[in-house]
């Protein structure tokens, strides 16, 4: 019999809060974290807005001499991971460290470092490129640095599957824990790509909103006037643990991770497969593994990027999976407030899903003002809803046709 897997700790550093308490309060209040870009001069860019974290202090988590050797995506992951470890009351020592793994994903990695060091190369020549350039920009360095920071000596792995990366890292952790390969895994995602080449690149493929005059209203998933996603940054981390380990430590679980499903569209580099059939297969797989029928789901945390095709096809995918229940179950996209955290989005939204179960509240989709006849489900418009939330499915779909779904349940031991 496979192991049961529980969530015993959460951490988050986001555009709407520097911890899970502030992030959750902002989300259920409908607070937007989107504004004008401040980290560089974006005046000449088509998109001049993003969901930045403006008050994060790396020195709260990292020694000052180490900070300059770490890209921002790694700094954010260390902060969120330390929060999660503390939340779970986990003490890592020589006796248990080899059975504790780290799986923190990033879809892009150190693109801020790449952007900065390309300027150094162009202006000052190759001999002035930082000796820390390579270890700062590698996507696996969030997992690597977190494992070094907390002393976890189990596998340290980074999944890279675009906007499904964070969800896939949690799914990979789920697989290893169910197989009894490890006792505990610190899993999640992190991203920090708000920089000149990052924004210019997404503009070049026409992915971003250009609603520069109304930043807080720019991310509008499922709304008829949606015009693209808004880049966000941040990190979400969960401590996942087997039942045996949790009972040995005498800690209480927050929720249970019961399902993970993944699929590939095999269709197009950026566009979802017609009808959302790839996303539908991921959801069906996750529900089957969780041994949950669709009508038992109390909340869907949608991928909901605010792009025309994604929201349309995700709606079709939810209808294909949930049929009549699709019109009844509360759905929301918290990207309406946080922006799209890319490789960290699935991890943050897993944290949100667990908090929805804990608090019996569905956070809203803000900025949903104009009905789209092709997006006609219950997206919890503009105001949070108090309701019984025992089972949640969270979707993450990425460029390249990556689809991942996670299922969480309330604790029933």
* Cα atoms in the 13 Å half-sphere on the side-chain side of 162: 14
**Token pair listed for 146:** 């977190």
- Known catalytic membership, residue 340: yes
As a whole number of angstroms, the longest Cα–Cα distance in the chain is 63
User: Taking a C-beta distance cutoff of 8 angstroms, is the pair 330, 299 a contact?
Assistant: yes
What was the pLDDT predicted at 274? Answer: 83
Which contiguous run of DSSP H or E holds residue 315?
Answer: helix 308-322
Residue 185 CB contacts under 8 Å (≥ 6 apart), including other chains: 100, 101, 102, 103, 154, 173, 176, 177, 239, 240, 241
User: Taking a C-beta distance cutoff of 8 angstroms, is the pair 345, 396 a contact?
Assistant: yes
Residues β-bridged to residue 49: 36
Q: How far apart are CA 213 and CA 117, in angstroms?
A: 32
What are the Cα distances from residue 167, in Å, to 92, 159, 160, 271, 272?
25, 9, 10, 19, 17
DSSP codes of every residue in 274-296: GGGHHHHHHHHHHHHHHT--GGG
Catalytic residue among 195, 303, 375, 402: 303
Catalytic residue among 87, 195, 231, 340: 340
- Known catalytic membership, residue 303: yes
307 CB neighbour count, 10 Å cutoff? 24
Residues β-bridged to residue 103: 157, 187
Question: Model-level pTM?
Answer: 0.96
* Cα atoms in the 13 Å half-sphere on the side-chain side of 20: 27
| Closest residue by Cα to residue 233 from 37, 49, 52, 396 | 52
Q: How far apart are CA 211 and CA 342, in angstroms?
A: 19
**Token pair listed for 71:** 């890209």
pLDDT tens for the chain, residues 1 to 413: 589 999 999 999 999 999 999 999 999 999 999 999 999 999 999 999 999 999 999 999 999 999 999 999 999 999 999 999 999 999 999 999 999 999 999 999 999 999 999 999 999 999 999 999 999 999 999 999 999 999 999 999 999 999 999 999 999 999 999 999 999 999 999 999 999 999 999 999 999 999 999 999 999 999 999 999 999 999 999 999 999 999 999 999 999 999 999 998 888 887 888 888 999 999 999 999 999 999 999 999 999 999 999 999 999 999 999 999 999 999 999 999 999 999 999 999 999 999 999 999 999 999 999 999 999 999 999 999 999 999 999 999 998 889 999 999 999 75
For residue 168, give the DSSP letter. H
DSSP codes of every residue in 256-273: EEEEEEEEE--S-SSSPP
In the chain, the domains with their CATH numbers are: 5-249 (3.40.47.10), 260-406 (3.40.47.10)
- Known catalytic membership, residue 163: yes
Which contiguous run of DSSP H or E holds residue 298?
Answer: none
User: Taking a C-beta distance cutoff of 8 angstroms, is the pair 157, 101 a contact?
Assistant: yes
Catalytic residue among 163, 195, 231, 375: 163
């Amino acid at each position: 019999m496979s192991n049961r897997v529980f969530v015993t700790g959460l951490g988050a550093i986001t555009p709407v809060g520097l911890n899970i308490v502030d992030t959750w309060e902002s989300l259920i209040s409908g607070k937007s974290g989107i504004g004008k870009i401040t980290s560089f001069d974006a005046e000449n860019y088509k998109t001049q807005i993003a969901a930045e974290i403006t008050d994060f202090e790396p020195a709260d988590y990292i020694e000052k001499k180490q900070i300059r050797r770490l890209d921002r995506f790694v700094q954010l992951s260390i902060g969120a991971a330390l929060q999660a470890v503390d939340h779970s009351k986990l003490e890592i020592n020589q006796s248990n460290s080899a059975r504790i793994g780290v799986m923190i994903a990033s879809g892009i990695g150190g693109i801020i470092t790449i952007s900065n060091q390309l300027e150094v190369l162009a202006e000052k020549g190759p001999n002035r490129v930082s000796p820390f350039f390579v270890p700062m920009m590698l996507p696996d360095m969030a997992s690597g640095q977190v494992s070094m920071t907390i002393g976890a000596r189990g596998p340290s792995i980074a999944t890279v599957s675009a906007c499904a990366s964070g969800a896939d890292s949690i799914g990979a952790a789920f697989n290893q824990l169910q197989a009894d390969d490890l006792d505990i895994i610190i899993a999640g995602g992190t991203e920090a790509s708000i920089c000149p080449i990052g924004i210019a690149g997404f503009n070049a493929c026409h992915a971003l909103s250009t609603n520069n005059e109304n930043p807080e209203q720019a991310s509008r998933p499922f709304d008829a006037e949606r015009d693209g996603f808004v880049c966000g940054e941040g990190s979400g981390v969960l401590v996942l643990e087997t039942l045996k380990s949790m009972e040995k430590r005498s800690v209480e679980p927050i929720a249970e991770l019961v399902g993970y499903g993944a699929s590939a569209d095999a269709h197009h580099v950026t566009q979802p497969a017609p009808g959302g059939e790839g996303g539908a297969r991921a959801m069906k797989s996750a529900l089957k593994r969780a041994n949950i029928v669709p009508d038992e789901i109390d909340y869907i945390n949608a991928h909901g990027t605010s792009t025309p095709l994604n929201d349309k096809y995700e709606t079709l995918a939810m209808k294909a999976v949930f049929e009549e229940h699709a019109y009844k179950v509360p759905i929301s996209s918290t990207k309406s407030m946080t922006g799209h955290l890319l490789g960290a989005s699935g991890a943050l939204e897993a944290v949100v899903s667990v908090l929805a179960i804990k608090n019996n509240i569905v956070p809203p989709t803000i900025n949903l003002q104009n009905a789209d006849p092709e997006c006609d489900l219950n997206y919890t418009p503009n105001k949070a809803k108090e309701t019984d939330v025992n089972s949640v499915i969270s979707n993450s779909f990425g460029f390249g046709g990556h689809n991942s779904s996670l299922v969480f349940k309330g604790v029933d031991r």
